[in-house]
Structure 1
């Protein structure tokens, strides 16, 4: 049996789900359509029927597919547009946007860690507290983030940092002054760690965002490395604004 997929560390069912999800996103499989049978998909993708069944189950849990007894499996909905990926022009606007969001925060790891700080980022803080976690909306894993917070600042509100989005907490701390804040967005492909965290295949398209906030003295007080699933991203830009 010849595989439709290239070699990847991700499970075959996750790769099959990626391919099927992409068809839904692009309208190849429109809402209301009955998708091909498991044997046909198994033959097309070159994988076992149980692999296709696992992929369908994953998309069912995401709310995209709906099996109907005796009729087949139908497309129920398209993936949700990720609400965070809006173009904003200021840190205040970004913080306000984040205050409106209520993702489920799924911890992966926490502890003292050293981020990779580039020469033009700023001055490294003595110690950083790392919060690595996944954001989930509507039971769908949407992004994974590694948040490096100056340990001195983390100690000001450890409970809030652990249970809330980082940027609004930083903005609320009166003793914390942010003199510069920049972010870089790069379209890339998922590495093994991001793929495992988001349940997508290795090399699946993703958007990577790197955020660096500095204090007035140039110390990097926050460095965030985020990876978003590409099917949850929409950038809507008014080119005449």
Structure 2
């Protein structure tokens, strides 16, 4: 079995690092559903950490529902084979809005007038101020992407409660006239850091699809900027080909 030695020099807490490795074993089927996992002492010895750190890692996976403790018997894997719906990479805002309408957002961070999106001159002009939001999107209680987005403060001010509790694109699509004049996105393949892995319940360094999405208004102002990290095992790209 592959063993990861937890790094005390990493900014990611030791127990989160260990939980990521243990989660990977469950995901890959090394530890099968219903199987007993090693004791806290064995986990602590394997990773070279204190027993309390091993307990925190196991508790994290217990909270996620991947492990279940049984008094007097030990801790067991509670992860029957999951059935994940593929996430299709869409090429229009209408399709994207339809996708997000079936999404449950969980707001992690919100900041007003403190950040600006990392755009270039080719992307467009900056708005006077932005609202920054970071959230996790889920379907059927399963997280499938982490999104960090910047929304023009003027748009956010029109429906602050809705933007805090609903996905952004469908709301923008309801406006008449729509504020979007141009939209584009770029997809790259990357790997998950520990924080992203924890939020998406995937192993550290698992493949993710990184999408940069930019929307401009008629004046060329960037009214929406987002960086989205999708689980790599859920992304599906369908393209017609010329013959």
Cα deviation for residue 16 of structure 1 reads 0.4
Cα distance change of structure 1 residues 223 and 84 upon mapping to structure 2, 3 Å threshold: farther
Aligned pairs (5 A) from 1:209-224: 209-224=211-226
Preserved CA contact (<8 Å) 1:86 1:236: yes
Matched, 1:236 2:210: no
Cα separation, 2, equivalents of 1:36 and 1:105:
35
Cα deviation for residue 17 of structure 1 reads 0.2
Cα separation, 1, equivalents of 2:37 and 2:199:
24
Cα separation, 1, equivalents of 2:80 and 2:217:
42
Aligned pairs (5 A) from 1:12-27: 12-27=14-29
Matched, 1:98 2:74: no
Matched residue, 1:174: 176
Preserved CA contact (<8 Å) 1:134 1:198: no
Cα deviation for residue 56 of structure 1 reads 0.7
Cα deviation for residue 43 of structure 1 reads 1.5
Cα separation, 2, equivalents of 1:79 and 1:212:
36
Cα separation, 1, equivalents of 2:200 and 2:49:
18
TM-score with structure 2 setting the length: 0.80
Residue by residue over 1:97-156, the C-alpha shift from the partner in whole angstroms, topping out at 9 and shown as x without a partner, is 1011123323x232113222113212322x132232332658877654332122232232
Aligned residues: 234
Preserved CA contact (<8 Å) 1:134 1:141: no
Residue by residue over 1:9-41, the C-alpha shift from the partner in whole angstroms, topping out at 9 and shown as x without a partner, is 111100000000111111111222211222222
Matched residue, 1:134: 135
1:70 to 69, 72, 81: 72
TM-score with structure 1 setting the length: 0.80
Q: Secondary structure at the match of 1:185?
A: strand
Matched, 1:48 2:38: no
Preserved CA contact (<8 Å) 2:107 2:133: no
Cα separation, 2, equivalents of 1:81 and 1:120:
41
